[in-house]
Amino acid sequence: MAYDKKAAIQAAREEKKRMEEEIQDAIESWAINPDALIEFFQFSEKFSYQYSFRNTLLIQRQNQGAAFCQSFDAWKKAGYSVLKGMHGMSIYVPVQATILEVDGKDIPLAEASEQQRRDYKEGKLSSKTALHYRIGKTFDVAQTNFPPEKYPELLSRGIPSDKHKICIDAIRAYMEEVLKIPVIMEAENLKGTKAGDVQYGIQGASLYGFYHPGEEKRDIHIAHTLQDTAALSTLTHEMGHAVAQHCRSESSNIHQIEFEADAFSIMLQTHFGVPITDERKSHISNEYKRWQLDEKENFHPEKSLDKMFSLYRLHIEGIDQRLKKYLPEEKEEIQPQQQIQKKNKKVGRRL
């Protein structure tokens, strides 16, 4: 059958429309179904190193069992093949495109008519280069001939709960060494001191921790009442505030700030294999709903989500490097995955 350019262009437009509808449906559903919101962030931890919020959401909507995805060419370069009959998941792929200016309208050169192409070659039409998104395909590891026995090389199994204190130490070391933000574990103030000498930043039983965004000094406090797992959960949340440089002011939306910190926390906890508590689930769900009510018709969380994806990707490798010093046997399995991640960063921009 002869190639029908018009039909192909129309099919691509319809596919993009469907993809946008999928994204908006998911965003709207999160306010109604908080479990779906939590599931997305737990799912997204596997993909935030390479894919944008929008593409991660598209992958989840098409294949909830996906664990490690790459393009057809990326799998081929890695020495593996996509199995025959496998259908890839549709995502957006950024490309630098030539845009023709025709009668006040912008038309991608790829979608231009034959006459418009001739006019462009003859210099009769003005053009510009702009970032454009085409539809691409990505394939999960299960859709390839990658040996199942080697899956542990790509997938982290998480950190046992009895070693969550070491996870705290790794995050704390990263915060203090790289970000220059002290982490005050107030339980340490109890050791070797008299009760009257202890200075607490947190004195309410319902307060677990806080991030202080001072101009001259920034720090994080974690309450002395928390056990290791709860302290780790709180620290990941406060780290979210710190890396996003949240500062509570009249111009900031407190619900957006809390949502962003929770998003970072859930991805980092998932990376460590820490179960998400009902309290954390309830908190992010409520903050999301309140943020949506505040913004009403102008509620567009995509920019906020992409920001937290970028921040997670920026800091996770440094945390893992310090964690490996403490737990080399636990994190050894994810090192091949990190090498693939680094390779992907070098060969192109994040999708």
Q: Among the listed ranges 208-222, 282-296, 317-331, which one has the minimum average pLDDT value?
A: 317-331
Q: Are 189 and 222 in contact (CB under 8 A)?
A: no
Global pTM value: 0.80
Return the sign of the alpha-carbon dihedral for residues 183, 185, 186, 188. Answer: negative
Q: Are 92 and 54 in contact (CB under 8 A)?
A: yes
Angle subtended by helix axes 5-32 and 53-62, to nearest 10: 90
Q: Are 119 and 77 in contact (CB under 8 A)?
A: no
3 has pLDDT over 80: no
Strands, E, within the chain: which ranges?
69-70, 89-102, 105-108, 126-140, 183-185, 209-213, 218-222
Predicted local distance difference test score (pLDDT) of residue 202? 58
What is the per-residue pLDDT across 52-61, written as a single tens digit (0 to 9) for each?
Answer: 899 999 999 9
Task: Give, as one character, the DSSP assignment of residue 274.
Answer: P
What is the per-residue pLDDT across 170-227, written as a single tens digit (0 to 9) for each?
Answer: 999 999 999 999 999 887 765 544 444 445 565 444 478 899 898 778 899 998 888 8
Predicted local distance difference test score (pLDDT) of residue 198? 44
Residues 127, 334: Cα–Cα separation, whole Å: 46
Q: Are 259 and 284 in contact (CB under 8 A)?
A: yes
Structure tokens that stand for 33 in this block: 């179904």
Task: Give, as one character, the DSSP assignment of residue 207.
Answer: -
Give strand pairing partners of 95. 132
Q: Are 67 and 141 in contact (CB under 8 A)?
A: yes
Residue 256 to residues 43, 111, 277, 286, 288: CA-CA distances in angstroms? 21, 39, 20, 11, 7
Predicted local distance difference test score (pLDDT) of residue 350? 53
Residue 230 to residues 170, 225, 242, 289, 315: CA-CA distances in angstroms? 16, 9, 18, 24, 21
